[in-house]
Structure 1
Amino acid sequence: MMKPGRLFWKLFLAFWLATSLTFLVGLGILVLGNFGPGDPHLQAILASEKQLLEQYGVESGRQLLTVWEHPDDQAIGVYDPAGQLLAGSPVPHPAYERSVISKEGVALSLRSSQSPGNAGDRGPGRSIPLIIGTLMSALFSGYLAYYLAWPLAYLRRAMSDVAQGRFETRVKPMMGGRRDEIVDLAEDCDRMANQLKLLVQAQQHLLHDISHELRSPLTRMQAAIGLLQQDPARQEMVGRIERESVRMDTLIEALLTLARVQGRPDSIEREPLDIIELLVGIVEDAQFEAAMKGCRVSLQACPAFVSRVSGELLYRCFENVIRNAVRYTRPGTTVVVSAEVNPDTQCLRVRITDQGPGVVSERLQSIFHPFERGVNEACAGFGLGLAIAARAVEMHGGTISARNEPAGGLTVEINLPGLVWSLHEITLA
């Protein structure tokens, strides 16, 4: 069950206030009605007096008013057309007056110092409190509707702008000083717009880099083909064309791999895999390339660490990082690959440390971006290996980072969380 937020309490208090005001106004109408004249006994006496005058005449009416013991503030009198009192008590300032035709056919006036309180005798002023209460309720409801509707209108307009590609649109500054869930939604919309802007920019930058990387080998292949057409005897151009086609094929394969790892984490197929065993195979393969430089690759690993992962993606991840370390380490040095389990988080921490020149501090984050290469490394690969490794680690919920060692060299650290299973559990499964 969700905890009530600020917007809930605002709505609750607003509705409560409107309901309370309506109730108080209704109660006020009842109280004001009770203060007015409305004695049912007085009403009965007036009705009886009117009936006696009409059916039996003035004398009968006089007898009723004579025997009626009325309070001091209540007086009833019967007057003739000349204003002479015929029966009852004097009523100099009548609050109630009714014309009656007596049995004798005389037009008489029945007066009372207080009104009997008939609903039909109440004036239009009695409905004023009800009108005021209705207007107050309408004002509060209108304010509440405006308070809720105008930020949503801004949100809708902002989302329309974002849908049209105007990613610089921001909603939160329009909200003023309010603090509730609508402002939180505005912040999320602003973050979404900023993230979309970054993704579009990254996509445009990536397309630009891809077109550049593909254009270079194509240009060299076209030049080699042109030279071969001019002089068919220049067979070395065939080798040049073959090398450039292989380079293009490698680039396209790397781009396809990068496109795969850009997908959703739940789109990859996972299976139980011993990551330490995977590292052992990669290190053995890297030894051949390292031996050509007079270098070594050593593995310092913990016992088996089994997790549910994508073996293909992690293989490419570790292979790219380790081969990158072998490429830049100095001749005669050792690339150290260490793997250990963090006892607190139960994550596998893999470090790959070379003895090379390291990386400029400003590039420690950007080396994981596609096509990121150093100034003097234009021909050293395509700059996609570490980008593929970074995305593969992210898809498994892990982290990857790089740092320069004080004694020289670069360390790439990979942390992989584990849904870790022991070998005994795997065997039972």
Structure 2
Amino acid sequence: MMRRRLFWKLFLAFWLANCLTFLVGAGAFMLDELRGDTPGLRSLLVTELNMLQRFDEQAGRQLLQVSPQPPGVQVGLYDDQGELLAGRAVPRPLFERSVTGTDGRLLILRASAASDLDEQPRPRGMGPLLTGTLMSALFALLCSLYLTRPLAWLREAMGQVAQGRFDVRVKPRLGRRRDEIVDLAEDCDRMAGQLKALVEAQQHLLHDISHELRSPLTRLHAAIGLLRQQPERREMLERIERESRRMDDLIEQLLTLARAQSDQDHADCEALDVVELLAQIVEDARFEAGMRQCQVLLVAPQPFITRGHEELLYRAFENVIRNAVRYTAPGSEVRVEAMLEQAGERLRVTISDQGPGVAPERLQAIFNTFDRGGDSGGDGFGLGLAIASRAINLHKGVIAAQPADGGGLLVRIELPRLG
């Protein structure tokens, strides 16, 4: 049976707020009645005072004899000597007013329960309504906090899980609470644990694959050394050497991708100049570009000092720039431009080529793992841009691709300054 504890808590809370609002209002009304501070009593006192002031003592006596007095209330008319002239005796008056009759005689009107009345009856106060409103608001606030605080904790925890911190847990923060939100927190904690196990299993698999592949690589290199002594088998030697080099490159890229995906604690961060890093990469890329009769131009007037993983950032920029050199047209130019934004707190790097470009519907897919951008016959493995994307995201940056002006592809990388 589905548990509905949260539903009943909300139902009872709002019901209790409404009941208290009603009881406070009804209680205040009953208290007024018990005190005798009613519109009927006030009207009687005001009328009696008017009769004494405008007419004479006899008119005031007749009014008290004819007009019924509220139950439990005493109203009496006294002379200046304290002798009761009309009405009921008032031993402990709560209301007393002196008035001079038309004959000049001083008279005193006393009542057992009344407020400080004026000539006109005062309206009933707004106290009960305000009290009930405030109590309803208080209960609504408590209910809102009861619901929104754990939901905010859940949102914070899911944000940390999205950043790769799978050790976060929500249920311990909820204490001894028992309802559907606790069940949701348990499911979220269980999901974080399963994600952590899956990611660790993936990382272990990548490392195991890399380790296992290095053994046949060692044997291949040994075989290459033996074959060099047999010139008649040189064709096979070149093929083995080429394949072993490709396998070595694949392993290196897999290791880099594994590190970019798993390194979340920034333990190896160090201060570095990204512009200087770009200059080193461009200098190395110019040698490869010269073989294709093209050029690599760097435009970066100012340094940009930040903290990060130098190796991962180097691989990220190197993969993008080498891709641009690989696909640009012979005799063309690859342009690498870096500029500071937001008062020097952010670096924007654009790498543009003059190659065939990428179809608009594939601009996002080229950053996926093992995606070769439709070039299935090329020498690449489809890991270069995936490594660049993971490394830039690890440094809280953004990487995106778009068509370049005049054809080709433009890759935009934005990095914040990390302290």
Normalising to structure 2: TM-score of the pair? 0.49
Q: Give the number of the structure whose alpha-carbon radius of gyration is greater.
A: 1
Normalising to structure 1: TM-score of the pair? 0.48
